Amino acid sequence: MIDRTRLPIDIPTPTSGAVPPGTPVQPVRPPSGAPHVLLILVDDMGFGAPSPFGGPCRMPNAERLAGRGLRYNQFHVTSLCSPSRQALLTGRNHHSVGMGVTTEMATSQPGYSGFRPASAATIAQTLSGNGYSTAAFGKWHQTPPAEVSPSGPFDRWPTGEGFDHFYGFMGAEMNHWYPQLYTDTTPIEPEQRPEDGYHLSEDLVDRAAEWIRRQHEVTPDKPTFTYLAFGATHGPFHVSEEYRERYAGQFDDGWDVQREKTLAEQKRLGIVPPETELAPWVDGVPHWDELDERERRVSARFMETYAGFAEHTDAQIGRLLDELDDTGVLDDTVVVLILGDNGATGEGGIEGTMREHLVGHGFADDVAWMDEHLDELGGPRSYGIYPVGWALAMNTPYQWTKQVASHYGGTRDGMVVSWPNGIEAQGEIRSQWHHLIDILPTLLDVARVPEPETVNGVPQQPIEGVSMRYSFDDAEAADRRRTQYFEMVGNRGIYHEGWTAVAQHGIPWQMVGGHGPFEDDKWELYDTRVDPSQAHDVADAEPERLAELQRLFQSEAERYQVLPLDDRVTERENPQIAGRLDLHGDRTEMTFGPATARLGEEAAPNVKNRSHTVTADLTCATAADDGVIVAQGGRFGGWSLYCTGGRVGYAYNCYGADLTTVEGETVLAPGDHRVVVEFDYLGADEEPGGPAEVRLLVDGAPVGTGRIGRTTAYYFAFDETFNVGVDRGTPVTDAYEAIDNRFGGKVSRVHFTLGSESEQAETRRRQALKLADD
């Protein structure tokens, strides 16, 4: 009898005396009857968006899955990406495993460090240790950004967290037309382009289907665990015109009418109780009839694009289900489809945006500009998210949006489970109250695998979720989850036996700046047994119950490392401001060679909000050597040093809205050259994103100057990278092409000097003091 509580499992061998000599060594296999597992996560989809839960986004394959399985209508998430994924894969609350916010917002506090402790093994580690083949595809948003580099370490990458294989992207979001991907830990870019018909969601399913097919061909007796985390339907909304056109004109009545339609459909389907009311509209968000004609036109197109994006994602789910069916394993596969890792997002702002990072830094996008570029929405030249009004409609019937952990609009999503060979009931609804942390114990339960006590010699902290299997064939089974806390960027709430006490603190589309003292927040109270949508605040009528739940939240917060609260959002996306690990530490001098590629935001030199000098040594083979010398970011935020027509140029792209270009007139002759960018930051220390002046020099001679009215305050891009000799992904400037922009000559080295002379002197002084102390 093998001991499955200690991983890796000690395999009996002849040398150990556990089996007779001459006996073949048997690999670890799961318990008899363990099913295949397919875990699918859709990004940023609200409860009221998908058709199986009454929404307007047609998802026939999700409906098909629900028809052969169960829909859970009281399933909960954490209200942001990384925390939900860490909770899902570890079975522990997000603060318990250091993921109180996204990895890009991590701090030095234990509940917010962004580092999963070894004492919280993932579902992949446990299933792999018990004999499953495991693979992850798509979005991986749990690795500390400073570790997303060629130097690793790689133990917090998918292949270090229990997955045999990974194909996807690292970080919050990805351009679906020009993605920058990894196979295991090796960076790659797709060979196809948008004009060839490429789309990331299709690519992910192609790779997942290929992997599953290969496993069943080689080891048909070995179960598989496939984790497919789409980048869709997170921003940017990227989908072909064909899918967008399927919804032409369908949202012209606006979000107020859509909420009414969705609630009626939810009641018809039995997704919500008949007495459910629409939750109150959020103050400050305009109603549809308050918009002018242009605002309505732009807003409707945003929703058409999103709905097409969702339907396209569903089509890919269908292709993967067909692959399992053709392979003959669909009926013996536990398929868990989670339709959102948080509520629909309000991060597009009141107006919506075609340039996400603009709104992320506190600036509204321009409706007139978007109207002029409306036909680009969804395509490679856009980076869009719909207006807040549509986010509220996609969270029908609940209040608020993504980030807001207090109300169900941020924390409730639809979930489907299908397992024809293991669940007798089909096409039914389950109303037991559950949370993401309950998925891991459920999957261990169906695989007949125990919770591990140690993994790689490390004692494991208790799994905080509960198995949902008790509800599979018993619609009337009593809830086994009685209490659950919620917290995100200061928004907080507590559920206990049907009651919720909540305190909304921040406004998701106002991501820069403080939100006032926590003690000034107003706590609300809802009896969701009779008011399922949190429509009627009864705090004034039940002060004692409210106080009791506030005390319960406090105790849960202390227990799970929630404290101290931190309400910063975009500000924390700069490591210097957040106070987390900076990969380069105090280094002010660094040199990169021609092999340097694919460094993420926090692995690249941090040139934001500081003076700096970039010195590039290069060799031109001809007088017409064009291409990129060094670049960071892309079309929606970044900077680039390049040659076009043999002339040197420097482009600074702020939020995809302001492009400043400095270009020299002299054509570089064949031979060696030194190109220098002197960037003089003029903003004050307390003024991130201030103006700057740029000087461009070639072989010591000035060739151009320019002034940048505003610079990037906190981050250039979540999906783009730093590269020497090429600009990968989208181009920073249209002065050169996407993809085909590699420098025609040779870049020998690029040297960075960070900070003004006085700043460098101060850094040297601190380093000397540190050495003296050591």
Contact 237, 320 (CB under 8 A): no
| pLDDT given for residue 759 in this prediction | 67
| pLDDT given for residue 762 in this prediction | 52
| pLDDT given for residue 178 in this prediction | 96
pLDDT reading at 514 higher than 90: no
Spatial CB neighbours of 769, under 8 Å, sequence gap ≥ 6: none
46-72 pLDDT, tens digit each: 999 999 999 999 999 999 999 999 999
Task: Identify the band that residue 477 occupies on the pLDDT scale cut at 50, 70 and 90.
Answer: very high
User: Rounded CA gap, 76 and 410, in Å?
Assistant: 9
What Cα–Cα distance (Å) separates residue 189 from each residue in 569, 598, 656, 724?
Answer: 30, 10, 22, 16
Which amino acid makes up residue 308? G
Percent of the chain with pLDDT over 70: 97
Describe the crossing of helices 81-90 and 439-447 by its angle, rounded to 10 degrees: 30
**DSSP helix, strand, coil percent of the chain (3-state; round to 5):** 30, 25, 50
* Short-list 222, 271, 221, 252, CA closest to 53: 271
Please compute the mean of the pLDDT values over residues 250-273 and round it to a whole number: 98
| pLDDT given for residue 19 in this prediction | 67
* Short-list 31, 22, 27, CA closest to 4: 31
pLDDT reading at 712 higher than 90: yes
| pLDDT given for residue 766 in this prediction | 55
Please compute the mean of the pLDDT values over residues 415-433 and round it to a whole number: 97
Percent of the chain with pLDDT over 90: 89
Residue 358's SS3 state is helix
Give residue 553's Cα distance to chain centre. Answer: 27
C-alpha angle 294/296/298, rounded to 5°?
Answer: 70
pLDDT reading at 767 higher than 60: no
pLDDT reading at 602 higher than 70: yes
pLDDT reading at 115 higher than 80: yes
643-667 pLDDT, tens digit each: 999 999 999 999 999 999 999 998 9
What Cα–Cα distance (Å) separates residue 289 from each residue in 55, 286, 292, 719?
Answer: 22, 8, 8, 36
Q: Is 637 exposed, middle or buried (0-12, 13-18, 19+ CB in 10 A)?
A: buried
546-593 pLDDT, tens digit each: 999 999 999 999 999 999 999 999 888 877 777 787 788 889 999 999
Question: Mean pLDDT over all residues of the chain?
Answer: 95
User: Rounded CA gap, 446 and 182, in Å?
Assistant: 31
User: Rounded CA gap, 204 and 229, in Å?
Assistant: 9
What Cα–Cα distance (Å) separates residue 645 from each residue in 149, 565, 614, 625, 648?
Answer: 33, 54, 21, 7, 8
Please compute the mean of the pLDDT values over residues 2-12 and round it to a whole number: 90
| pLDDT given for residue 551 in this prediction | 98
Query: What pTM did the predictor assign?
Result: 0.96
User: Rounded CA gap, 96 and 406, in Å?
Assistant: 19
Strands 133-140, 165-170: pairing is: parallel
| pLDDT given for residue 21 in this prediction | 76
| pLDDT given for residue 213 in this prediction | 96
| pLDDT given for residue 772 in this prediction | 55
174-215 pLDDT, tens digit each: 999 999 999 999 999 998 999 999 999 999 999 999 999 999
Compute the CA torsion angle 713, 716, 718, 723 (nearest 10 deg): -150
Strands 69-76, 428-430: pairing is: parallel
CB hemisphere CA count around 209 (13 angstroms): 18
pLDDT reading at 764 higher than 80: no
Which domains, ranges and CATH numbers included, belong to the chain? 35-473 (3.40.720.10), 486-573 (3.30.1120.10), 582-773 (2.60.120.200)
User: Would you give the DSSP letter of residue 488?
Assistant: E
| pLDDT given for residue 585 in this prediction | 82
Please compute the mean of the pLDDT values over residues 363-376 and round it to a whole number: 97
pLDDT reading at 344 higher than 80: yes
pLDDT reading at 491 higher than 70: yes
Q: Which two tokens stand for residue 177?
A: 């037309």
Other CB atoms within a 10 A radius of the CB of residue 3 amount to 10
